[in-house]
Structure 1
Amino acid sequence: MARTLVIIRHAKAEHVEGRDDHGRALAGQGRRDAPVIGRWLSSQDVSVQVAVVSSARRTQETYRLLAAELPGAPDPVVTDDVYYASAGDLLEIVRALPPEATSAAIVGHNPGIGMLANALDDGASAVEGTERMRAGFPTSSVAVFSVDGDWATIDPGGARLVGYTVARG
C-alpha cells in the first residue's frame, strides 16, 4: 500500500533579540506563506491523517495556518521530539507513525527536516524544484513523498518525491 509523507519546514519566523528560539513567532511573511502551504497541498490532492508538529511556537503557528486551508486536516500531535531533531531522530518519528495511517505530515526545523527529506529521496524523481530541495530546504518548503510499505520499515532512499514547492504568499 502506498502511503503519503509530507515534510514541511516552518514558515519564516521573526528574529527578536533576546527572545528564546523556542518561543519565536512567525514573521509577517511567514503568516502570509503558511496558508499557501495548505492551499498548495489541497491543489495537489494531498490529505493528511496524522500531523506531528514541533513544540516550537513557529511550527505550531505554521501548522494552524496551513491546516485552515487543508480540508480535513487533523489536530496536531505537538512534541518536543521534533524540536532540534536530527534526520535520524525524525526518521524514527516517521517509523513510529500509526500503521493504519496512510498519510502523515511532519512540521519541523532545519537542518533536520531538510536532511530527512533528502535522506528519504530515492533520487529517481523528476519533480520540478528537486535541486532546490537538495540545496537547502528553505522556510515554507514542502516535500511530498510516496512511500511503499509500512512506516515502520522506511529506510533512507525509501521514498519517491512526488511534489515539492516553496510556498510564498
Structure 2
Amino acid sequence: MNTFTYANIVLKLLLLSGDPGPTTRSTNRQTDQTIHALLTKLDEGQARVLSALKTINDRLTPTEETLPHLKTRITKSEEMCASIPELFFSVRALTKSSTDSTIQLSNMEGRLNDAEDRSRQCDLLFYGILAKEETWADSEGFVANICKKHIEINLVPNDIERAHRIGNVQPDK
C-alpha cells in the first residue's frame, strides 16, 4: 500500500469520527460570518434580558422597602392574635358574671315587688274625702269614724298602723 492509500484511509476515519479535516478559506469566512451573526443575536438577547432584569429590579426596590413595615405589622398582628384566647376567656368570665348578676337582679326585683305587695296588703284607700290640714292622729280618728259609720267596723287607733293623705293637701279636692 502506498502513502496515498494510507492518507485516504486516515481521511475517511477522520470523517467517520466527525472531524472533516482542514477547511478552506471560504468555509472559514462563512463560519466566521455565522459565528458573528450568532454572537450578535446573543448580545441582543443579553441586552433584552439585562433590560428586563433592570425593570424587575426597579420594581423590587419599593417592595423591598415595604417589607420591613409589613414585617412589623405582621408581628404586631401575630401578637394581637396570640392574646385572643386570653381575651376570649376574659369575655366568657365577664359574660358569666353578667348573666349571674342579671339573674340576681331579677330575683331581687321579684323579692322587692313581693315585699312591696305585702306591705300594701293592709292598705285601704278612701276616695272622695275632702282634704284639709290635719295631724296623723286626726287622720286615724277620721278613718276610724268612716269605717264605723259606712262599713260598720269598729276600729280603735291602735288597729291602724298609720293614716295619711296621699300627696300634698289641696283644699279644692
The answer, yes or no, to whether TM exceeds 0.5 is: no
* Highest RCO, 1 vs 2 (Cα 8 Å, sep ≥ 6): 1
Q: Which has the larger radius of gyration?
A: 2
Q: TM-score, normalised by structure 2?
A: 0.15
TM-score, with structure 1 as normaliser: 0.15
